Amino acid sequence: MKTIEIIQAGTIQLGEREKPQPKAGELLLKLKYVGFCGSDLSTYLGKNPLVKYPRIPGHEISAVIESKGENVPENFVPGQAVTVVPYTNCGQCTSCKQKRFNACRYNETLGVQRDGAMAEYVVVPWQKVLADKELTDLELALVEPLTVGFHAIDNGKVTDSDTVLVFGCGMIGSGAIVRANLRGATVIAVDIDDDKLAVAKQMGAHFTINSLKQNLHDELVKITNDNGPTVVIEAAGNPITYKQAIEEVAFAGRVVCIGYAGSEVSFATKLWVQKELEIMGSRNANPSDFDAVMKYLRVNEIDESLLVSEIVEPEDAPEAMKNWAEAPGKVMKILVRF
């Protein structure tokens, strides 16, 4: 079968591997669309410490069931449209015992710690497969990246009394904007790209700030009556925005960190203590986040072109990855169509 493989940092190419066969408890999926994630870009750039090469990337999945092994429930049948929860969980670590399976100590995400779905076929345990009759193939590929932002809003305990600031209006930030808006919060989107801010507005942001052109603090003073946002979502993965999150969040506020900064971040602990802040990480997503995103996509008509920058064939995927690496700020989502 045809695959897309990152051979080493800076080298991505088409490959060939044997078509997998499902074992007991597994489903063989024929891929429709697979999205390139920021983690895949990091793998290509040699900045992902969790990856060993060569690696088949990809964990944002739209597929149909091709066949199944023994001991798979009868409700899974060939031809069903599905997406996949791409994480593993051990069931025994402290995270799993608290039912926070997304933060399993021994998690292995498709395309990161193990080979992913950038191929014509992939096998996965049936427990990780979510079938849906209503969503399109393209929508199913958008489910997983949106769940990450949804999960961050859950971690931030966002309600309709909150003002939520989202740093970074890519795919993950868009998920956070949507979920915060659904919760009834006032949403402020911050980015340095006007095109992404325009998308953020259409996804539910009430205010947008281009922090390259506008003074972030002054704008927040006006919007929040000098109180600051009660919740800040850091989805940019930038040392500057990490510091700004602590500086700009309201007293007794919450800061939720999704993005990985490329370098260490130092900031004065005075604000952390003085404001009595809750600062937490947010990793992957839980089954409830997948349910919430799929429900959102079923009942809301969204312009998919807002979130999908480009759809390419497998032969063109290496070039698309190279172009993304050269201009990452302009890309929302690249989908590969199998």
CA distance 39 to 59: 10
pTM: 0.95
**287 domain-assigned:** no
127 and 175 both lie in a single domain: no
Per-residue pLDDT at 60: 98
Residue type, 219: E
Per-residue pLDDT at 183: 98
Q: Which two tokens stand for residue 71?
A: 């001991």
**Cα radius of gyration rounded to whole Å, the chain:** 20
Per-residue pLDDT at 330: 83
Per-residue pLDDT at 110: 97
6 and 127 both lie in a single domain: yes
81 and 126 both lie in a single domain: yes
From the first residue on, what is the mean pLDDT of each consecutive set of 10 residues in the chain (338 residues)?
97 97 98 96 92 97 98 97 97 96 96 97 98 96 98 98 97 97 98 96 97 98 98 96 97 96 86 96 96 96 90 97 91 96
CA distance 333 to 301: 18
- The CATH number covering residue 190 comes to 3.40.50.720
Residue-by-residue DSSP string for 188-256? EEEES-HHHHHHHHHHT-SEEEETTTS-HHHHHHHHHTTS--SEEEE-S--HHHHHHHHHHSPTT-EEE
260 and 326 both lie in a single domain: no
CA distance 181 to 64: 32
**294 domain-assigned:** no
**222 domain-assigned:** yes
| Residue given tokens 């603090």 in the structure block | 217
CA distance 116 to 238: 27
**268 domain-assigned:** yes
Domain housing 247: 147-281
Per-residue pLDDT at 177: 98
CA atoms within 13 A on the CB side of 88: 16
**286 domain-assigned:** no
67 and 114 both lie in a single domain: yes
67 and 160 both lie in a single domain: no
18 and 120 both lie in a single domain: yes
175 and 228 both lie in a single domain: yes
**290 domain-assigned:** no
Q: Is 97 exposed, middle or buried (0-12, 13-18, 19+ CB in 10 A)?
A: exposed
Pairing between β-strand 26-36 and β-strand 60-68 as defined by DSSP bridges: antiparallel
**291 domain-assigned:** no
Instruction: Tell me how far apart the 2 most distant CA atoms of the chain are, in Å.
Output: 62
246 and 275 both lie in a single domain: yes
125 and 158 both lie in a single domain: no
Number of domains present in the structure of the chain = 2
- The CATH number covering residue 45 comes to 3.90.180.10
80 and 173 both lie in a single domain: no
Nearest to 110 by CA among 65, 57, 43, 151: 57
Per-residue pLDDT at 302: 85
**72 domain-assigned:** yes
CA distance 269 to 326: 36
19 and 125 both lie in a single domain: yes
